[in-house]
Structure 1
Amino acid sequence: MTALQFPCTIFKTQKWMDDYSASDMRCGDLTEAQLKSQYRLDYISGRVDPWTLTRRSSMDRPQSMFCCNLRGKGEKITRQQCTAMLFDEFRSLSRKFSLYGPYSHLIEKMITHMQHGNGTPFRDMALDRALKEQILNDMTKNSTRLRLYEFIEKNIDWDKKCYPANEKNKLKEIILGGKLPKFDRFQDNFNGMGITVHDTWATHITIKSLHIDNDRYRAVVHYKVQDHFGLDSDDILKTKFSQFHFFRIWFVLQRYNQFGFKPFMTNMEATIEITGTRK
């Protein structure tokens, strides 16, 4: 029997890491006419009109965001002033999605990265910590950690103190049968993780090492997860997104051909230990 060698990547999603061709990574590709006619984005902001580059007053705002502003022109501003005001409003509006907890600051930090980062990947220790906590605290039957715990213990060759190489594909099947780490729990609607990450794009899972001794085992498992901080057309066409100025501003800053602020990759990693005994 051949023993499985470590480190060993046991799972990769079909979606690629660093996929800059994804639809939510587009930027600066839509005209004013397209944004208004196809996406109903006439009214974007309570502070500024990005189409005319004018500052709004409280008297300029329509009762409904779906109405056009029919009042006279306000104070003219530059494109740079307009985008700065939009990003300030973007950050301000984000707070309703990040009310509490150790990750509530992340969304404002990521918005600022979109403003100044020019599309470079984003990494933060708080994201890594959130990912690790999500994996360790998931006690459901679909937990990838718990499914690996059961399967590794069951399939170890305890006499030879190794894991059979011919069982590698079954490790992938075990992961496929579970639920990958995501931030779509109820609390994620308010703690900042639902708005910063929510779903994920690509996940790689690697068993870095497996030690077997005295009828016990210890596996070190590494999760590498990537998400996109960007919106695609399907996102903004959904009422649950388009009803919020937060997402309307985001979409225009990213997709309007006069702005074109680049979305970016959000990278997270976590290493956990899985331990068990021979049954």
Structure 2
Amino acid sequence: MDHYAQGSDTVSALQFPCTIFATQKRMDDYSASDMLCGDLSESQLKTQFHLVDVSTRANPYSLTKITPFSQPQSMFYGSRGEGEKISRQQCAEILFDEFRHLSQSFSLYGPYKSLIKKMITHMQNGEGAPFSSMYLDSALKEHIVNDRTENNTLAKIQRALTEKIDWAAHIYPEDEKDVLRNAILDGKLPKFDRYQDTINGMGITVHDTWATQIIVKSLNVSNDSYRAVIQYKIQDHFGLDVDDITKAKFSIFRFFRIWFLLQRYDLFSFKPFITNMEATIQISGERNESKK
């Protein structure tokens, strides 16, 4: 630990890398309610969650294909009926294909539009392994850097560094660490809950987040300026809990009904997974910025 004399006081320098913030919700939390899997029966899904009409392509309870009555002269023309028997695996493949197809309405444009299909496929084949993507990391960094609101945590970190750096000693004092944490608490952590996220694919893949860590990787102070490297580590869960499916805004969409059934129905039990995102950003500031 470095110490610097200031009159009769000794100032300890904060050592880097240093985690300056961590949410109460912890990383790698596989016990969370949205990480449950295969815990519900057919009768529970139907009676408690009203999941009777799940798919337009297959009945997951009877394991049969759903086919439209194709004869125009039939009085049932255009309605749906049950067709051939299929295996559990065939049914799951049909449901996942419909799941991917329905995801398109939540992911209309931009560089992240293909993410939701990749994450659905990861749920189908990944057996619960964590998921990461350069596109997720890019989306997170873009969100943080382009945030012009007063609640931007990066700007609040920048301001706290400028105000609390010991410019004479060229250090950040260890006993001022809480100032950095409090600055973040006073802001809004990056979440994909903006209007554009409802159609660019990020709202459906991430939306809210589960756990966040913010780390100052390095700090270099010279003369009247500084450079710092800040790292955001964020985790989300690609899974649904009971609260999700009982909200009208979710349950009205077939997309979420299929998702919940594939994850929670004991016949299928496809595992949800943890989504990892990281962004490393360099910032800089000057001694007199806080006075401007």
Shorter-chain TM-score range: over 0.9
Q: C-alpha distance in 2, partners of 1:38/1:31? A: 10
User: In the alignment, which of 75, 78, 91 is matched to residue 82 of structure 1?
Assistant: 91
Equivalent position SS for 1:161: coil
- 1:9-57 CA-partner distances (Å, limit 9, x unpaired): 0000000100000000000000000000000000100001101011011
Residue 232 of structure 2 aligns to a residue whose secondary structure is strand
CA distance, structure 1, for counterparts of residue 31 and residue 237 of structure 2: 11
Does 1:225 pair with 2:243?
Answer: no
1:183 corresponds to: 192
Query: 1 CA distance for matches of 2:20 and 2:270?
Result: 36
Matched, 1:148 2:157: yes
CA distance in 1, matches of 2:224, 2:242: 54
Which of 51, 64, 67 is matched with 1:57 structurally? Answer: 67
Aligned to 2:16: 6
Shift of 1:155: 0.7
Per-residue CA deviation, residues 209-240 of structure 1 (Å, 9 max, x unaligned), is 00011201011000100000000000000000
Normalising by structure 2, we get a TM-score of 0.91
Shift of residue 71 of structure 1? 7.4
Paired residues in the alignment total 270
Instruction: Give distance in 1, aligned partners of 2:248 and 2:80.
Output: 27
Q: Which residue of structure 1 aligns with residue 138 of structure 2? A: 129
Alignment-derived partner of residue 26 in structure 2: 16
Structure 2 gaps of 5+ residues are: 1-10, 71-78
For 1:59 and 1:215, the matched residues in 2 are separated by 77
Q: Distance in 2 between the 1:222 and 1:71 partners?
A: 52
What does 1:173-212 align with in structure 2 at a 5 Å threshold? 173-212=182-221
Q: Secondary structure at the match of 2:102?
A: helix
2:49 is the alignment partner of 1:39: yes
Amino acid at match of 1:104: K
Q: Percent identity?
A: 64
Structure 2: how far apart are the matches of 1:137 and 1:185?
13
Letter paired with 1:90: F
Larger radius of gyration: 2
SS of the aligned residue for 1:56 comes to strand
Alpha-carbon spacing, 1:71–1:85, altered in 2? closer, same or farther (3 Å): closer
Alignment deviations for residues 106-161 of structure 1 (CA, whole Å, 9 cap, x no partner): 00000000000000000111100000001001111110001011111011111111
What is the match of residue 111 of structure 1? 120
* Distance in 2 between residues matched to 1:6 and 1:59, nearest whole Å: 68
Question: How far, CA to CA, are the matches of 1:54 and 1:168 in structure 2?
Answer: 61
Note the residue ranges of structure 1 that are not aligned, 5 or more in a row: 61-69
Q: Specify the SS of the correspondent of 1:267.
A: strand
| Match of residue 161 from structure 1 | 170
Matching residue of 2:38:
28
- Residues 71, 207 of structure 1: alpha-carbon distance in 2 compared, 3 angstrom cutoff: closer
Q: Greater strand percent: which structure?
A: 2
Where 1:183 maps in the other structure, the secondary structure is coil
Whole-angstrom CA distance in 1 between matches of 2:144 and 2:198: 18
Q: For residue 200 of structure 1, give the secondary structure of its aligned residue in structure 2.
A: coil
Q: Which amino acid aligns with 1:121?
A: P
What is the CA RMSD across the aligned residues, in angstroms?
1.2
Question: Which of 226, 235, 238 is the aligned partner of 2:244?
Answer: 235
Do the aligned residues in 1 keep the contact of 2:66 with 2:80 (CA within 8 Å)? no
Q: Which segments of structure 1 move beyond 3 Å, counting only runs of 4 or more?
A: 70-73
